[in-house]
Amino acid sequence: MDETYQVYLNRVARQTHPDTYRSQVQNLQESPKFKEGQPLPFPGYTINTPGEADAANQLFYQNLQQAQTELVTLLGEDLLIALPSEILHFTVGDLIWDTAYRHAVTNNPNFEKQLCGCLAQSFRQYEEMEPERSPIQLQLLGLLLRPRSIGVVLAPIDEPSFGRLMQLRRAIYQNPDLIALGVEQQYPFTAHITLGYFNAIPSPLDRAQLCEQLLSFNDRWIGTQPQILRSSQAALYQFGDMTHFEHRPSFPLVTF
């Protein structure tokens, strides 16, 4: 599922195009991860960056949280379920979740320990292949509208940054021991930060108006100071639902 930097840029840039929004607003669905605004159990493991806990990115996340608040005000709490602002994060790679997660932990009492060991191996491999240490920088491009969620889409600022992310993902998803545990890459990489999930979709819904609202909202990131996320590390996190992510001291992390 690897692609070149230019192909990635072209693909994610299309996500913020008016025609994409016009198409996507026709496909909105209630997220199965929530019921009447409350999170439902949806457990798993993922590789995330620290979010607002990273001091270097506090201003980035403050601006993003402000945008999230304004987006919920614009769309309404009945339509958009906002994620807690303190758990907003950039996902480097999802590992295993829901049914596959339940099967793995039920049938293998040592699953978490083995997962940590395999990931530590992948992280060491990445750090050996990329000996230079510096943050990976990603620029916020605009809103990312999906059938069940809305967030912002990101793009690495240059080809070397993109290449380092791909190198880490290859070290994870091509690790045969992780594959044996049930970890697999299931979709192409799209750097993003989820802001919220859709509640029950009202009928009727003025989808044309919604599209215009999103397009107008997106204007805040056009012709202004670029919003840059500077990621210095990523780590294993466990989640019980979409509002609770935990990194424990025993969980491995990787430094960019």
DSSP labels for 87-143?
A: G---EEEEEEEHHHHHHHHHH-TTHHHHHHHHHHHHHHHHHHH------EEEEEEEE
Whether the predicted pLDDT of 1 surpasses 80: no
Cα(188)–Cα(194) distance, integer angstroms: 16
User: The domain spanning residue 27 has which CATH number?
Assistant: 3.90.1140.10
Cα(48)–Cα(90) distance, integer angstroms: 6
Cα(62)–Cα(217) distance, integer angstroms: 17
Q: pLDDT tens digits, residue range 86-110?
A: 999 999 999 999 999 999 999 999 9
Q: Which residue has the tokens 């596959």?
A: 100
- Total number of domains in the chain: 1
Structural domain range at position 36: 5-255
Q: Rounded to the nearest 5°, which phi and psi values hold at 121?
A: -65, -45
Q: pLDDT tens digits, residue range 12-49?
A: 999 999 999 999 999 999 999 999 999 999 999 999 99
